[in-house]
Structure 1
């Protein structure tokens, strides 16, 4: 099965309805920290295990400090999941993202959740009709926890694997890869640019032609777009979602892509200098060419 950016226009498939997500409460004091927040970012977090080595922001999008430098190491996450075994979803939960995912990923397609942790995201996708959800994480501790938890759900598969080396997967074997914070964690550590390039190269390899990589991140286009453009095998579309569910008018329609420009001025003009959103980069694999989508139509009513 192939991917295209206009699945929602297909007359042959109607996705199942989900209940409207409830308004989310502010994060609890015992929730994991968002990795490597840039300076000035809002939101609560708990101290990391290495409290005396709290990460510090870095202009490149990474951070300094022993805790952040360990974000790419299995031992760090093993320790975290031993101490924090309860389920947790980084950034966004499935019901909030479901309308966007339905545009790009069909229920019968094979998809990969990278850095799955102990999230219930995959479980929610199966409940919504997705049939083949593969989950990987660098932590053997959390993978064993999740295997036991979902031993009776054949649609969910769990494998210990480093996203920078997914050699156990054949090339072109997935239709979609979903990333909620994994690239962000890599950008917190040492040699972040090198490791990010390895991860994105592997994502490209395992995706089939027209396969889609969906990255949910705090990283605005001035940081993340350069990483994606350097690899030159994507058509990139940008969506945004408010960090917390609110009753007032939303910043932007989740399913409507924003126009992109190389200098990110279009995003600043539309959303302001410090929008309280998560950015969602939808990267469609193109074997013959690559481009950043600069022609996405703007819904004037949503400005």
Structure 2
């Protein structure tokens, strides 16, 4: 950690899970919290992401918040990165932090992932880490989410599909298990194939890799393919407190 930018430990706890859907909550939180990594830091899943990147890849990160994932991507050689967040506070803080650390090429802008303000087919890779999970915090039955939840989810996915290049890739890092996310990702609106793997030990996080243009047809949906990757030992705490809040929400609905 850069000693000139210590991590602020104060975190604004939400009054309820639904508070995560309120933009003002995030503005207040980001005004007090310097860094928080949902679902682990980049180093924990780097081995899954890197095979899908080249130095020339154009990358869009959805809901960057105060994460340092873009730093890791940049240090690994991918420099054409655009980060968006709905919170103007997060965007302002991220811009200042990146400039102060010399990451002048990374673009950060305020934008809504439900209405992506980009041209068609302009990114090689879109990545999100826990951002879509926020849409599900008040979704009701996980087997049959509320219509308003699904409307937001589908708006996000349609936007991602649109801005991806014909052979682009969408990577989603989430708590959402395949039996819940598979029907959504495999909706007839999309031409991508679906693969997934996990990382973590005591608790597992799911990484979905959706490859645009590799689905045979909307009528012939291939089964979800699980990616086999080398096992990695993790040496940090397996579950942060707020990650656990997401996990409890899912587990309670499953019980």
TM-score, length-normalised on structure 1?
0.63
SS in structure 2 of the partner of residue 116 of structure 1: coil
Specify the alignment match of 1:217 in structure 2: 174
Query: For the residues of structure 2 that align with 1:297 and 1:116, how far apart are their CA atoms?
Result: 26
CA contact (8 A) 2:195 2:225 kept: no
- Of 54, 61, 65, the match for 1:117: 65
Specify the alignment match of 1:131 in structure 2: 79
Is 1:92 aligned to 2:92, yes or no?
Answer: no
Following TM superposition, where does structure 1 have runs of at least 4 consecutive aligned residues deviating by more than 6 angstroms? none
- Of 191, 212, 215, the match for 1:233: 191
Is 1:153 aligned to 2:103, yes or no?
Answer: yes
Deviation at 1:73, TM superposition (A): 3.4
User: Which of the pair has more CA radius of gyration?
Assistant: 1
Is 1:283 aligned to 2:210, yes or no?
Answer: yes
- Compared CA separation, residues 189 and 136, structure 1 to 2 (3 A): farther
- RMSD of Structure 2 on Structure 1 (CA): 2.6
SS in structure 1 of the partner of residue 50 of structure 2: helix
Query: For the residues of structure 1 that align with 2:105 and 2:27, how far apart are their CA atoms?
Result: 25
SS in structure 1 of the partner of residue 56 of structure 2: coil
SS in structure 2 of the partner of residue 71 of structure 1: helix
Specify the alignment match of 1:165 in structure 2: 115
CA contact (8 A) 1:233 1:287 kept: yes
CA contact (8 A) 1:229 1:292 kept: no
Query: For the residues of structure 2 that align with 1:178 and 1:297, how far apart are their CA atoms?
Result: 17
Higher RCO (C-alpha 8 Å, min separation 6): 1
- Compared CA separation, residues 145 and 298, structure 1 to 2 (3 A): closer
- Compared CA separation, residues 120 and 295, structure 1 to 2 (3 A): closer
Unaligned runs of 5+ in 1: 1-29, 33-46, 56-67, 243-250, 252-274
CA contact (8 A) 2:127 2:172 kept: yes
CA contact (8 A) 2:196 2:225 kept: no
CA contact (8 A) 1:49 1:80 kept: no
Query: For the residues of structure 2 that align with 1:188 and 1:121, how far apart are their CA atoms?
Result: 23
Unaligned runs of 5+ in 2: 1-8, 140-147, 232-255
- Structure with a larger share of its residues in helix: 2
Query: For the residues of structure 1 that align with 2:225 and 2:23, how far apart are their CA atoms?
Result: 41
Is 1:49 aligned to 2:49, yes or no?
Answer: no
**Which whole-Å deviations, capped at 9, do the CAs of 1:244-284 have from their partners, x for residues lacking one?**
xxxxxxx6xxxxxxxxxxxxxxxxxxxxxxx7200111001
CA contact (8 A) 2:130 2:174 kept: yes
SS in structure 1 of the partner of residue 25 of structure 2: helix
Is 1:194 aligned to 2:143, yes or no?
Answer: no
TM-score, length-normalised on structure 2?
0.74
CA contact (8 A) 1:237 1:292 kept: no
SS in structure 2 of the partner of residue 196 of structure 1: helix
Specify the alignment match of 2:253 in structure 1: none
CA contact (8 A) 2:10 2:32 kept: no
Count of residue correspondences: 210
